[in-house]
Amino acid sequence: DAEITQSPRHKITETGRQVTLACHQTWNHNNMFWYRQDLGHGLRLIHYSYGVQDTNKGEVSDGYSVSRSNTEDLPLTLESAASSQTSVYFCASSESLEGRYGYTFGSGTRLTVV
Amino acid sequence: SQQGEEDPQALSIQEGENATMNCSYKTSINNLQWYRQNSGRGLVHLILIRSNEREKHSGRLRVTLDTSKKSSSLLITASRAADTASYFCARKDGANSKLTFGKGITLSVRP
At B17-67, the pLDDT tens digits run 999 999 999 988 999 999 999 999 999 999 999 999 999 999 999 999 999
**Could you tell me if B10 lies within 8 Å of chain A, comparing CB atoms?**
no
Judged against a pLDDT cut of 90, whether residue A39 lies above it is answered with no
Q: Give the pLDDT of residue B4.
A: 57
Q: Give the pLDDT of residue A96.
A: 76
Contact B42 A105 (CB under 8 A): yes
Judged against a pLDDT cut of 70, whether residue A67 lies above it is answered with yes
Question: Average pLDDT, whole number, for chain A?
Answer: 94
First to last CA, chain B: 36
- Smallest Cα distance from A98 to chain B, Å: 5
Q: Give the pLDDT of residue B2.
A: 46
Contact A42 B30 (CB under 8 A): no
Residue type, B34: W
- Cis bond upstream, residue B111 (ω within 30): no
Contact B101 A35 (CB under 8 A): yes
Contact A102 B35 (CB under 8 A): yes
